Amino acid sequence: DGVDRLVLPGVGHFGAAAEQLKASGFFNTLKSWAAAGRPLLGICLGMQLMFDESEEDGCRNRGLGIFRGRVGSLRGPRRLHMGWNSVVPAGPDGIVSGGYYYFVHGFAPRAENGKDVLADSRFGETTFSAVVSRGPVLGVQFHPEKSGALGLEFLARWAAGHTNGARPAGPRTVPPPAAGDAMPTVRIIPCLDMDDGRVVKGIRFENLRDAGDPVERARRYDGQGADELCFLDVGATWKSRRTLLEIVRRVSREIFIPLTVGGGLRSVEDIREALHAGADKVSLGTAAVVNPRLLREAAERFGRQCLVCSIDAKTKNGSWTVTTHGGRRDRDLEAVVWARRAEAAGAGEILLNAVDRDGTGTGYDLELLRHVRAAVRIPVIASGGGDMPSHAWDAVNRGKADAVLLASVLHNDRRTISDFKRYLRKKGARIR
């Protein structure tokens, strides 16, 4: 029918995806397509489905069996391998260049036949197959469409018919353990607070002022090396959310790094619309506190890897209380307790905003960060008060944050993302 190559993408659960492929009739079609040696590319879950079975569903559902081996659980310092990590090619001149690519997964394959492996990666104690190939049939565990220039170069080579690279002679060997590879890189995430189609910024959610066009800002931050972008609808009305989703559609066609969208998402259907508009993750704040079941329902449908729980915390009686509705309503809920509950409900990441410091430029709340970091096994993003590169280093080094959110300091053009990355790299942080 004029189709010369297929892509099998995927985000979600191995068992549910295998069952859906069988129910739709695509399962045997894909097996026949691959057996005929026709070009096929599996991405993330799509790659895992190319293997025999997965521990994710207790090995109950058979995979496509194109590659021999089992998909196993990752053993690492976080529940999910989320962020940019290094890929180590097996040999020179392959389809995949060495460098940093974007991963988001909790399970990964180990190919039984070393000759199938084009590249490896590592997370914590687990070294896994990052790229496998058999002729024109390839699988990649990272997301090339969200891996910036390197990912686009890979896709261009695959589309042009470049598949196998040179493999080393003899038995396949994996990269030696390296402490620096145990965790993804520190992520720098610009936050674009949106209202009526414009970027705005204030102090502690008040006195909002215009900070520019969101698409132009997104292009600028991508050019400076942003690892992700975060769009938050501070208006949080139906009209403003619709405007934001249209902006996300425009940005996702031009910028190939992960996008998070939040603000006014109150239902599974709202989340579905945001993901279909081009978001890779959604941020749930007030809605998750009011209805914690939303996290569980969304995790079951879309996977926890796309769910960020946004916690706006204020100091109160020597601790921190969760606030909602832009920091205006005290929920009488301890922030560390809520972070732990949110993880149990299905959140894949915590966006931790210190409301008292928001927009002040006084640095992140390191005590708050440390307490939440100790309570959960999912990544934690520091937010609220970051103004200097030293603040970012403190959040990562002393607060143990996995990523830092930046807003005013970038919107005011006082510093660039490159300034922050240079400083962190000099301090010894692992930076893309």
Which residue is associated with the tokens 């026949």? 32
For residue 300, give both structure tokens: 């079951």
What sections of 146-202 are H helices per DSSP? 148-159
312 is catalytic: yes
Q: How far apart, in whole angstroms, are the C-alpha atoms of residue 383 and residue 385?
A: 7
Q: List the one residue out of 350, 348, 346, 316 whose CA is nearest residue 333.
A: 316
Distance separating alpha carbons of residues 233 and 205, to the nearest angstrom: 12
Q: Are the CB atoms for 79 and 36 separated by under 8 Å?
A: no
CB atoms within 10 A of CB 77: 13
User: Which residues neighbour 169 within 8 Å (Cβ) at sequence distance 6 or greater?
Assistant: none
**Which pairs from 329-337 meet CB under 8 Å and 24+ separation?**
331/289, 333/289, 335/311, 335/368, 335/372, 336/371, 336/372, 336/375
Residue 313: strand, helix, or coil: strand
Distance between CA 28 and CA 22 in Å, rounded? 8
Q: What is the CA radius of gyration of the chain?
A: 21
Q: Output DSSP code: residue 356.
A: G
Of the residues 280, 312, 358, 365, only one is catalytic, namely 312
Active-site hit among 193, 227, 365, 394: 193
Q: Identify the H or E element spanning 173.
A: none
Residue 426, token pair as written in the block: 């000099």
189, 311 Cβ separation under 8 angstroms: no
Tokens linked to 252: 């996702």
| 193 carries an active-site annotation | yes
Residue linked to tokens 């030293």: 390
- Residues with catalytic function: 193, 312
